[in-house]
Amino acid sequence: AQTVTQSQPEMSVQEAETVTLSCTYDTSESDYYLFWYKQPPSRQMILVIRQEAYKQQNATENRFSVNFQKAAKSFSLKISDSQLGDAAMYFCAYRLMNRDDKIIFGKGTRLHILP
C-alpha cells in the first residue's frame, strides 16, 4: 500500500527567508504524481505544485520548488522569500497515474511565518 510521510508536524520561518518541508512516500509503482497542497485557515485546499514521477526535472512555481528524488522516494517543498500569506497547513500527496484517482495525503506540516 502507498503511504505518504511528513515528519515535521510544525515549522517556523522568518519572513523573507527560505524553508524546506520534507516528505517521503512509499510505493512499488513507477508512474505516479506527487503534489503539495496548501490549506490556509479558510480550509480551502489549494494545489501548490505537481510533479510527474517520470520527469527528472524538478517542478517549480514561482517561489515554490520541489526536490524530487525518485530513488530515495523523497519529495521536499522549498518556499523561497517566505511571505505572511504562506502560513498554512501543507500536505504532501500521492496519486497513481492512469489509474484510479485516489489521492493519498500525508499528515501535514503546519508552517508559521514569523514577521
The answer to whether 1 contacts another protein (rule: CB under 8 A) is no
Q: Which stretch binds another protein (CB under 8 A): 55-63, 68-76, 79-87, 101-109?
A: 101-109
Residue 91 one-letter amino acid: F
Q: Given the complex with another protein, which of 99 and 112 has the nearer CB atom? A: 99
Instruction: Spell out the alpha helix ranges (H) of the chain.
Output: none
Please name the residues in contact with 75: beta carbons below 8 A apart, sequence gap of 6 or more.
23, 24, 25, 34, 36, 51, 66, 67, 68, 69, 92
Q: Residues 70, 53: contact at Cβ < 8 Å?
A: yes
CB-wise, 45 or 73, nearer to another protein?
Answer: 45
With binding defined as CB under 8 A, does residue 11 bind another protein? no
Question: Can residue 107 be called a binding residue for another protein (CB under 8 A)?
Answer: yes
Question: From CA 56, how far away is CA 53, in angstroms rounded?
Answer: 7
Residues in binding contact with another protein, number by CB under 8 A: 20
Chain residues 12-71 in contact with another protein, contact rule CB under 8 A? 42-47, 50
Site for another protein in 76-95 (CB under 8 A): 91
Distance CA 58, CA 78 (A): 11
Question: Residue numbers of the site for another protein (CB under 8 A)?
Answer: 42-47, 50, 91, 97-108
